[in-house]
Chains A and B, each alone.
Chain A
């Protein structure tokens, strides 16, 4: 091997050593991410974390065998013909209760031979504010309908003075009134205090909530019977989705929230009743508990059946204001087939 060949071999050998060495060093010092260690987060896999999403079942029945009564329902819809709220057009902020929301109650009444009528004021009728000068309660659309009713269920609180007069006369005549209200009503509707005053009941601002024990949300509070009555019979516990405490000037408490419930305005524990009864007036601090979905929760189906029984317990239909004594008995004859009421001009009255 001459001098030139030795130089060439040395060159190639040196180059090979460097390339191979660099390759090995690259593999050895590769800085790719090492497999990340497992982190145990038991709070994500806790079996108790998953809430039962079974909707439940409802079996709304009545025990009453009273003859046919007429129950008038005011879902609280605004008078037609007026300017509709733009929000209501897209499904937001609309007033009133949807038909399906009162179906559990309406259906059980119908199934047991009672008549359900829906009051929806027609255009031009005074839905709120002072009535026309000199108009008496009986002359209002509501007053006319109440004359043919035995019981009145209302989700509304906005009545004119004449309408409140008609309601008061209806109660004085022995009619049963169930008034339901939601906490949010106090924020966007006037007139609630006036209706409460007419009925002798009270509504407390704020809503009840329970973070410790509830039906899938802190506002969906449980309530238990405060005593034994027709309303509470067979009910161990009921769910009120958005409830406000209510009271009565002289009455009895039917349902109280369970222990641990608090009031939004005070953030303090409360056991103020959510359902009260004063004679033939029942005040319920919630309007959602009888919807189809909520009827399937806890014993709400039993409560709705009890409420239906109470609505048909007495008859006051046909009473001129003040004509019947409070708590008038049912007519001596059997089930009464009534003539359907006159169809209003706007056709919004629905009889089932």
Chain B
């Protein structure tokens, strides 16, 4: 049997010790990873923040996040963290459609913080349930628009409605727009509203305590309670929470200048929709950095103890911004 043994200066007993120690060392390296994987909850509740004015940038983000969530096998439920007083009709409709599609695939619960009104209410209406705090504000189902005016003759346009309009046609268009909103809300929650369509069309807002009585909301509860309810509906006894931030990072945009103009950037990590060329702006010129001087910064760029790496990661981080600067609106 001696021919089956390695020709080693170590005795068989020592060879065994070496093998065991080597295995232990390798195991020690991989054990935390295996433990973490084994210890992770099986599913995730994604919390999508819908906060601030409803605009194109917010709708872009919400659509993208919800699309990713629908294609992400680990996300099994969604909570919409609502804190918005509304905004642009089209952006509201885009979020409405995205939430509607998501709610057909997994539990979706809206959790209202301070307010979810008008376009905000529009966006969250397809959720399975709406959670409110007692002093949250919801409602305002309607259109806020100035009265259409007949405009004086304008010379130049190719047609009478290109740069002007008829008052009656304007009224009809606005009423159609308002009814689109109201009808959608009646379709989504008409069976829960304790109010008639006419009463809903008053566009009133309600405190949470009132909203759970008249059907504008379903439950009094906090964000955590909404998350737990969403997980329960998805059949998860244990779950992780993944918060998705959306929309502009703060209400004040970053101002950056190019060789031709000043642009407002509404996001820390801007896409095309977050960059808004400013036709006229009053600025302290020296305080507005040139786009070529802008560099991307992230947590990974922070200096790590024992290393000298710091600062920026990628000089082309402003590619979107720079590209958008040259664009003309059409």
Q: Could you say which of B175-183, B262-270, B286-294 contacts chain A? A: B175-183
Q: A39-B101, A41-B184, A43-B186 are in contact. Are A56 and B168 (CB under 8 A)?
A: yes
Check if A216 sits within 8 Å of B101, measured CB to CB: no
Bound CA–CA A49/B150 (angstroms)? 24
Query: Which residues of the other chain, B, contact A27 by a CB distance below 8 angstroms?
Result: none
Q: Which residue of B lies closest to A217 (CB)?
A: B171
Bound CA–CA A39/B183 (angstroms)? 16
Check if B172 sits within 8 Å of A53, measured CB to CB: yes
Q: Which residue of B lies closest to A53 (CB)?
A: B172
Check if A51 sits within 8 Å of B172, measured CB to CB: yes
B298 within 8 A of A: no
| Among B70, B71, B150, B201, contact of A293 (Cβ-Cβ < 8 Å) | B150
Check if B184 sits within 8 Å of A293, measured CB to CB: no
Query: Which residues of the other chain, B, contact A217 by a CB distance below 8 angstroms?
Result: 171, 174-175
Q: A39-B100, A42-B187, A293-B150 are in contact. Are A211 and B202 (CB under 8 A)?
A: yes
| Among A41, A44, A52, contact of B172 (Cβ-Cβ < 8 Å) | A52
Query: Which residues of the other chain, A, contact B186 by a CB distance below 8 angstroms?
Result: 43
A4 within 8 A of B: no
Query: Which residues of the other chain, A, contact B179 by a CB distance below 8 angstroms?
Result: 49, 51
- Tell me which residues from 217 to 231 in chain A have a Cβ below 8 Å from any Cβ of chain B: 217-218, 220
Main secondary structure, interface of B, reads helix
Interface size on B, residues (CB 8 A): 27
Q: A44-B180, A46-B183 are in contact. Are A53 and B201 (CB under 8 A)?
A: no
B191 within 8 A of A: no
Query: Which residues of the other chain, A, contact B71 by a CB distance below 8 angstroms?
Result: 31, 33
Q: Which residue of A lies closest to B72 (CB)?
A: A31
**A98 shortest CB reach to chain B, Å:** 10
B40 within 8 A of A: no
Bound CA–CA A297/B179 (angstroms)? 21
Query: Which residues of the other chain, A, contact B172 by a CB distance below 8 angstroms?
Result: 51-53, 216
Query: Which residues of the other chain, A, contact B101 by a CB distance below 8 angstroms?
Result: 36, 39
Check if B184 sits within 8 Å of A43, measured CB to CB: yes
Query: Which residues of the other chain, A, contact B168 by a CB distance below 8 angstroms?
Result: 53-56, 216, 293, 296-297
Query: Which residues of the other chain, B, contact A49 by a CB distance below 8 angstroms?
Result: 176, 179-180, 183
Main secondary structure, interface of A, reads loop
Q: Which residue of A lies closest to B170 (CB)?
A: A53
A88 within 8 A of B: no
B296 within 8 A of A: no
A87 within 8 A of B: no
Query: Which residues of the other chain, A, contact B175 by a CB distance below 8 angstroms?
Result: 51, 216-217
What mask results when residues 10 to 50 of chain A are scored 1 for a CB within 8 Å of chain B, else 0? 00000000000000000000010100110101111010011
Query: Which residues of the other chain, A, contact B176 by a CB distance below 8 angstroms?
Result: 49-51
Query: Which residues of the other chain, B, contact A54 by a CB distance below 8 angstroms?
Result: 168
Q: A31-B71, A50-B176 are in contact. Are A293 and B183 (CB under 8 A)?
A: no
Q: Which of A37, A50, A52, A211 has the most CB of B within 10 A?
A: A211
Query: Which residues of the other chain, B, contact A293 by a CB distance below 8 angstroms?
Result: 150, 166-168
Q: A216-B171, A220-B171, A293-B168 are in contact. Are A39 and B104 (CB under 8 A)?
A: yes
B173 within 8 A of A: yes
Bound CA–CA A49/B187 (angstroms)? 13
A212 within 8 A of B: yes
What mask results when residues 294 to 338 of chain A are scored 1 for a CB within 8 Å of chain B, else 0? 001100000000000000000000000000000000000000000
B169 within 8 A of A: yes
- Tell me which residues from 138 to 154 in chain B have a Cβ below 8 Å from any Cβ of chain A: 150
B313 within 8 A of A: no
B328 within 8 A of A: no
Q: Which residue of B lies closest to A241 (CB)?
A: B147
B90 within 8 A of A: no
| Among A43, A215, A296, contact of B183 (Cβ-Cβ < 8 Å) | A43
What mask results when residues 84 to 99 of chain B are scored 1 for a CB within 8 Å of chain A, else 0? 0000000000000100
**B47 shortest CB reach to chain A, Å:** 22
Bound CA–CA A42/B201 (angstroms)? 19
Query: Which residues of the other chain, A, contact B104 by a CB distance below 8 angstroms?
Result: 37, 39
Bound CA–CA A226/B290 (angstroms)? 70
Query: Which residues of the other chain, B, contact A43 by a CB distance below 8 angstroms?
Result: 180, 183-184, 186-187
Q: Which residue of A lies closest to B176 (CB)?
A: A51
Query: Which residues of the other chain, B, contact A211 by a CB distance below 8 angstroms?
Result: 198, 201-202
| Among A42, A55, A215, contact of B166 (Cβ-Cβ < 8 Å) | A55
Query: Which residues of the other chain, A, contact B198 by a CB distance below 8 angstroms?
Result: 211-212
Bound CA–CA A49/B173 (angstroms)? 10
B18 within 8 A of A: no
Q: Which of A44, A216, A297 has the most CB of B within 10 A?
A: A216
Query: Which residues of the other chain, B, contact A215 by a CB distance below 8 angstroms?
Result: 171
* 17 more A-B residue pairs beyond the given contacts A39-B101, A212-B198, with a C-beta to C-beta distance below 8 A: A39-B97, A41-B187, A44-B183, A44-B184, A46-B183, A49-B180, A50-B176, A51-B173, A51-B175, A51-B176, A53-B171, A211-B202, A216-B171, A216-B172, A216-B175, A217-B174, A220-B171
11 residue pairs bridging A and B, Cβ less than 8 Å apart? A31-B71, A33-B70, A49-B183, A53-B168, A53-B173, A211-B198, A216-B171, A216-B175, A217-B175, A293-B150, A297-B168
Interface positions of A (Cβ within 8 A of B): 31, 33, 36-37, 39, 41-44, 46, 49-56, 211-212, 215-218, 220, 292-293, 296-297
- Shortest Cβ-Cβ A-B pairs, 4 listed: A53-B172, A216-B171, A43-B183, A51-B172
